[in-house]
Structures are given as structure tokens and as C-alpha cells.
Structure 1
Amino acid sequence: MKTLCEKYAAKLAAQGLAPATGPDAPLVGGLDADLVWNREDPRTAELAGLFSRLSINSLVFVRPAEPYRTILDFLAARNPEAIRPEDTETRTFLHDIPVCADFTAEAMAAQLKRRKVIVIPGRGVAACGTVSPEQGFVSVSSAVFATFVLFFSDYLARARRIELDDGYAEAFARVVRLLPEPRTAPPQLMTSPFLDEESVLAAMAETGRQVVGFGLVDSFFGNISYRLGETVHISQTGSSLDELEGCIDPCPLDGSTTNGLTASSELTAHEDIYRSADFDCILHGHPRFTVIMSMDCERDDCPNRGRCHIHCTECRTVDGVPIVPGEVGTGPTGLCHTLPPAMARNGAAIVHGHGLFTAGKTDFNVPFARLLEIENRCRDLYFERLAQYA
């Protein structure tokens, strides 16, 4: 258990969500025969009380690195009961993020009984798991991602409506100063031809690690696939893009096996993209500014407001890349209906509030480069649009 605690503490640091060392390094605890922590810290005395109050076996506590620290504390101050992001990950997994005023086991447990992750203003973010520290890692990472998207989305919307106040402007200026510089040069990935399953799996695993390493996902979520003949090799649902070895399913396009049961929930969308266009590979990530720009709309009077993620009828694009609505899965409002035709025309499409899909032929170099290029363009476009309201 201690090894797992150390692993997910290191992942939080590798993603830039927390310092790797020092007093603000992540605290990850796990209960096996005994309760163990990845490191010593006086706060574990209070955090340990959560294990007797909740049916959990692991806990992740993080004082986020900047600029996430400023964002979380600002949003918690403005929303003392709960922070309510509107991106797809929050709708699907988090619902809302409760704000806990007191750093006590009793107060934190009361909030964690109903939600996966909580914010303690001035202290940090806490999340628990019933199976593995991975659950807390995902919840913390998702909360940081969602609040980042909310902060920038809300600021742009308020600027458009001329509703900004000095406090928001001051926090925003600080966050922008602390943003890391964007990465612009894509990695050199394995090149085609991939003539057998072994080379396909190796290329997918390598690409998944790079997508996570470049920060183009929320925690480690997203998906990746490659079509080899009439079989789509696709990452499994819930799998870590940076640990895909053994987590890729071969799914024949004719549905002749049951492998699709454990495959990504977006398998149907991938299959229909391959059926409708001449692509060999697909990448899906959650780049932050791409998600932010997908949610930006000038129509405050739109009758679909609040249901944009499934009912948007506006024909919006980012430099020709279409933005489409759609939920995860295959239901009547599933992205499996909207994504394939958009991808067939452009080889890339943004799903409202969710993320970016890119496709390519032969290998993953082009889709990765487009993933990075579109995210950087969305970042530039955000500040260009904001300057219009200055």
C-alpha cells in the first residue's frame, strides 16, 4: 500500500498539480493492515480521523501548486457552500465540489460522505477512495481541472457582460502571470507501418504516455485507438493513458467478440469515424483551453442555455475545427451521433465542455501534433477574445 501511496503522490507532482518535495508535497494515505502515508507530516494526525468516520481505504490531500492554488481559494471564497463547474467531467463524475470551512476530521467527513472531493479554503483539496489511492488521485486531478476551466470560462463571460470586479481582475492577473509557458514542439513518436498487433500496442502505449506528459488530459483520462485491418484496438474504459500496457482491447468492426464490454465508452464513436473516413488512428484528450473555448458563446439569450452540451445548435468552430454537442456513451444525445460526421470532414472535432478528438493516417504523429496545435490556438484565441472586451 505504501508503494501505491508514493506512486500517486509522484503522479500529482509530475502533472504539476503539487510540489514534489517540501511541506506542500502531496499526502497520500492507505489502509491495509495498518494506515500508512507516503511521507511524514503533522496534518496526517487530523486526516487519519477520516478513516474511522468513512468506509474508505485511501485518502489524497493536496495543497495545489500555483496557479491552481489561487484559483481554488478564489472560487471557494466566492462560493462558500460548493463550487459548481459546468464541464462534462464535472457533470459525469463530480456533480459539484463542496467547500469545507474547517480542517477537522468531523467536518471533512461530513462533506466526503456525499461527494468524492472537497476543497478546504487556504488548506487544500481532499479526496478518498474505497479501492485504491488511484480514486483520490483522479478526483483531485479532476477537481483542479474543472475549477481551472470554470475560472477562465467565467472570467471571459463576465468580461463580455461588463460584470468584472476588482477582486476577480486581481486574481485573474495573478493566475495569468503564473501560467506555465505552452509546449509547442510535439514529440517524435513511432512511425508506421504498423504491420502487427505488437507494434500497434507499442505505438499506442508510447503515444498515451506523451499525451499525459504534455498535460493534454484531465488526470489520465482520454482514449486512443488504432485500426489494424478490420479490428479497432482501443484503450479500455477507465484506463490510464500513461499505463496502457495490458489495457487495450481488440474490437472487430463486425462485433464478433465481446471485447467491447471493457473498451472505452466511446468505442462506437471511434468505430463510426473509421467507417466514415479513411483514418487509421484517433486520439482524444481534454486540453484545458480547448474545453474553455468550446463553452464560450456570445448568445446569452439562447433557449438551449444550460443544456448546451447536448442541445447546442450553433455552428461554431475554432479555425475551422467544428465544436459539436454530445454526451459520453451511445444514448440519444451521445457524441457517437455528432462526432463521426464532424471528424470525417476535418479530421478533428471539439466536443462541447468535454475535449478534443483528432485523427490521422498511418501513425500518431499527425493527430498528436494537431492536438497540441489546436490547444495552443485555443489558448491564443482566449486572450484575443478577452482583449476585445478590455
Structure 2
Amino acid sequence: MDALTVRFAERLARAGLCAPDEAAIVCVDEAASFSRQDFPLNDFLAETARLLDVACLMLAPPAEPYRTILEYLAKREAPAIQPRDCETRTFFHDIPVVAQPLPELAAAALSRRKGAYLPGCGILAHGALSPEQAFITVSSVAFAGFVKFFSDHLAAHRDGTLDAAGREAFAAAVRALPPAPQAVPPLARGPFPDREAALAAMAEAGRATVALGLVDSVFGNISYNLDGVLAISQTGSALDALEGAIDCCPLDGSSCAGLTASSELSAHAALVARDPRRAILHGHPKFAVILSMDCAARRDCPRRDSCHVDCDRARFVDDIPIVPGEVGCGPRGLVHTMPPALVGRRGVVVLGHGVFTMGRDDYNEALGDLCAVETLCRARYFQALGLPPA
């Protein structure tokens, strides 16, 4: 168990979410084990885990720029940070701010949410069964905070309501931004001779997408049209660990293989029915999500509280359309909005959610376009602020 806690602490550091040796993790089996034996808040973590009756609890002091961002948001929005991106609306609703490192306060917050923020200490996240669940939550809280912070800053700039504290936090966060993805690694060339080669190419593309930072945590989805059978990542699968986590779903509905497939199976199927390109890649690049939430009509629009699923305005970033839509195939699902917008285009942004791209026979074009859309949106974001690209 001690080795397990250390392994996940190292994984947080590799993902750029936490400085090396700073994460504190407790795993509870017959006894509590800790990633940092001398950490002064170990008793707090162990007691909080006991009150929650969970297998794991993480406290991750976020690396920059997440630390500046979350400290600023926690101070401004306590008792809870209120992100507006699609993933948070769907899975988190809000991020509670725990005022003090007291087990009762932390357990109360985490009994209703997957993650919380403890100012001056870091992101708190629990895993009912495993550290993997807590790791995903830490990553998603960092993503949600990032998107909210930069989105709110642009909105305040447009409204003329920026204050000194906001400007200072923004400047500090921008100084700590990693560079935009530049070099896209070459991937396997298609068309692929058999199903095994196609699945291997999907796994390779998934790893590259995560390595380039184009997802929220390790999530997104990917598919490949095998002449009437759609190979697609399973729901909840990590894009950097797709071996054994891809379903092959006949597009004629003759199999129930889609029961464990991505929740966006219907959108992928609708897309390949319209477009001859075989390879589909979906990620959550941060600045594409941020820019999709920037709208000149946001203050006066009657749909402003539901625009992520209900917007009826034609919106673009250069040649890239922005469309609304929720996950699934309901009446407001992205299955109705994303496929027609992507046909014949290099990419489409789903409002507050992420980007879909395609490749004719393999993932080289799809991954290149995913990077290009993010780089474009990042440049347009700073241009909207009257700043040079960062």
C-alpha cells in the first residue's frame, strides 16, 4: 500500500498537477498508509478518510499556474467555486472551499462532492475504492479552475470590471503557463491492414493526446470506422491506457457491444455516417474551451444560463465553428449539433466542452488539427485582451 501511495504521488507530479514530493496521500486498508510519513496533516487526512469511509484521500498542493488560480478563486468565491464548463456542470456542480484543515469540515464537503479546495494547502479528493478516482478528481478540479479563471478574466476585461487583485493573479498565472503544443509526434500511417493495427493506432494516438496536454485529466474519446464497425474507447477509459479498453460496435446496431462504449458513441456514429474520414479524436484543450465560452451577447441573452446546450447563434473562431450540445443523444445532445458542423472542416468546438477533429485514414491529421485549434484559440484569447500571445 505504501508503494501505491508513492506511485500516485509521482503520477500527479508527472502530470504537472503537483510539485514532486508535495502530494500527500493516505490509503486505508486494515491500517492507514501514507505517501509522506512525516507530513504534518497526516492525522487530518486519516481521520477525514475514516469519517468518509473511503479507501483513499489525496491532498495535492497544485503546481503553478493552478496554485495561483485556485487560491484566487477560493478567496473570491468561498464557500464554493462555481465553474461553468460542461464537465463540471455534469460531474462536480461546484468545488467546495474548506475553510480550515478540520476533518469534520472536510468530510462534510467531500460527502457531497468528489473534490474540494483547502486554501493554503491544496486540492482534496477522495477515492471510494482506489487512488485512481482521487487522481482523476484532482486533475479535473485543476482543469475546471483553469478554465473558469481565464474565462472570467476575459469577461471582466470586456465588461470593464477588472480589479487590481484580478490583474495581479492573471499576470502571475500567465507567467507560469506552459508553452502551447508545438511539435506533434508522427503517428502510425493508415489505412490499417487489420483490426489489431487500427486498435494499436488508436492507443498510440490516445497516449500522444494526453502527453500534449489536450485533455481534461486523461479523458476524451477516440474512434475509428472499420468499414461498418466503429472501434471506440470505452466509457471512463483513460486515453493513455486504451489497450483492452476499446469496443467494436457494429454501426447497424446488430450487437450490444456499445453498452460499455463512450457516452458519445451516438455522436461518433452520426459523424462517420456523414463524413468519409475514418478517424475521430475528441479532447478538451483548455483555451478552446475557454474561448468557446466567450460571447458578446452573454449579458442580454435570454439563454445565458443554458447556452451550453441551447445557443442558436452562429459562432466561429476563424474557420472553426462553436456549437452547443450536451453529452448523449437527447433532444439537446451534441449528436445533433457537432456532426453537421464538422463535415468538411478541420475541427469543431462544443461549447464549454471540447474539440472534435478527424483524419482520413489515421490520426496524424486529427492530432495535428487538435493542436492547431488549441494554438489558434490561445492566440485569439490573448489578442482579445490586447496582449501578445503567451
Bin for the TM-score computed over the shorter chain: over 0.9
Provide the secondary structure at the position in 1 that maps to 2:58. Answer: strand
Within a 5 Å distance, the mapping from 1:211-250 to structure 2 comes to 211-250=209-248
Provide the secondary structure at the position in 2 that maps to 1:109. Answer: helix
**Partner Cα distance (2:293, 2:205) in 1:** 27
* Residue equivalent to 1:312: 311
- CA deviation vs aligned residue, 1:124-163 (integer Å, no higher than 9, x gap): 1101111111111111111110010000000100110100
Provide the secondary structure at the position in 2 that maps to 1:337. Answer: helix
1:356 Cα offset (Å): 0.2
- What's the TM-score once normalised by structure 1's chain length? 0.96
Count residues with an aligned counterpart: 385
**Partner Cα distance (2:93, 2:210) in 1:** 24
* Residue equivalent to 2:147: 149
- What's the TM-score once normalised by structure 2's chain length? 0.96
**Partner Cα distance (2:272, 2:206) in 1:** 20
**Partner Cα distance (1:2, 1:255) in 2:** 46
Within a 5 Å distance, the mapping from 1:106-125 to structure 2 comes to 106-125=104-123
Taking structure 1 as reference, are residues 48 and 145 closer, same or farther at Cα in structure 2, changes over 3 Å only? same
Once the two structures are aligned, what percentage of the paired residues are identical?
Answer: 51
1:34 Cα offset (Å): 2.2
1:19 Cα offset (Å): 1.1
Are 1:39 and 2:36 matched, yes or no? yes
1:27 to 5, 10, 24: 24
**Partner Cα distance (1:252, 1:33) in 2:** 46
1:48 Cα offset (Å): 0.6
Bigger drift between 1-10 and 371-380 goes to 1-10
**Partner Cα distance (1:7, 1:236) in 2:** 25
- CA deviation vs aligned residue, 1:264-309 (integer Å, no higher than 9, x gap): 0000100111010111100000000000000000112111111110
1:168 to 161, 166, 169: 166
- Kindly indicate whether the alpha-carbon contact (under 8 Å) linking 2:17 and 2:139 is maintained by their aligned counterparts in 1: yes
Within a 5 Å distance, the mapping from 1:236-275 to structure 2 comes to 236-275=234-273
AA aligned to 1:227 is N
* Residue equivalent to 1:186: 184
Q: Which runs of 5+ in 1 are unaligned?
A: none
- Kindly indicate whether the alpha-carbon contact (under 8 Å) linking 2:347 and 2:373 is maintained by their aligned counterparts in 1: no
Within a 5 Å distance, the mapping from 1:271-350 to structure 2 comes to 271-299=269-297, 300-350=299-349
1:80 Cα offset (Å): 1.7
- Kindly indicate whether the alpha-carbon contact (under 8 Å) linking 2:278 and 2:362 is maintained by their aligned counterparts in 1: yes
* Residue equivalent to 1:366: 365
* Residue equivalent to 1:94: 92
Provide the secondary structure at the position in 2 that maps to 1:195. Answer: coil
AA aligned to 2:79 is E
AA aligned to 2:13 is A
- CA deviation vs aligned residue, 1:229-249 (integer Å, no higher than 9, x gap): 111100000001111110000
**RMSD of Structure 2 on Structure 1 (CA):** 1.2
Taking structure 1 as reference, are residues 228 and 4 closer, same or farther at Cα in structure 2, changes over 3 Å only? farther
AA aligned to 2:324 is P
1:46 Cα offset (Å): 1.5
Provide the secondary structure at the position in 2 that maps to 1:36. Answer: strand
1:3 Cα offset (Å): 4.3
AA aligned to 1:37 is F
Bigger drift between 229-238 and 103-112 goes to 103-112
AA aligned to 1:19 is A
**Partner Cα distance (1:257, 1:121) in 2:** 50
Within a 5 Å distance, the mapping from 1:125-140 to structure 2 comes to 125-140=123-138
- Kindly indicate whether the alpha-carbon contact (under 8 Å) linking 2:147 and 2:286 is maintained by their aligned counterparts in 1: yes
- Kindly indicate whether the alpha-carbon contact (under 8 Å) linking 2:215 and 2:283 is maintained by their aligned counterparts in 1: yes
Are 1:383 and 2:379 matched, yes or no? no
**Partner Cα distance (1:376, 1:249) in 2:** 31
1:116 Cα offset (Å): 1.0
Bigger drift between 37-46 and 287-296 goes to 37-46
**Partner Cα distance (2:155, 2:41) in 1:** 38
Segments ≥4 residues shifted beyond 4 Å: none
* Residue equivalent to 1:16: 16
* Residue equivalent to 1:83: 81
1:173 Cα offset (Å): 0.8
Q: Which runs of 5+ in 2 are unaligned?
A: none
Provide the secondary structure at the position in 1 that maps to 2:27. Answer: strand
Bigger drift between 321-330 and 129-138 goes to 129-138
1:4 Cα offset (Å): 3.8
Provide the secondary structure at the position in 2 that maps to 1:65. Answer: coil
**Partner Cα distance (2:137, 2:255) in 1:** 33
Provide the secondary structure at the position in 2 that maps to 1:16. Answer: coil
* Residue equivalent to 2:7: 7
Provide the secondary structure at the position in 1 that maps to 2:201. Answer: helix
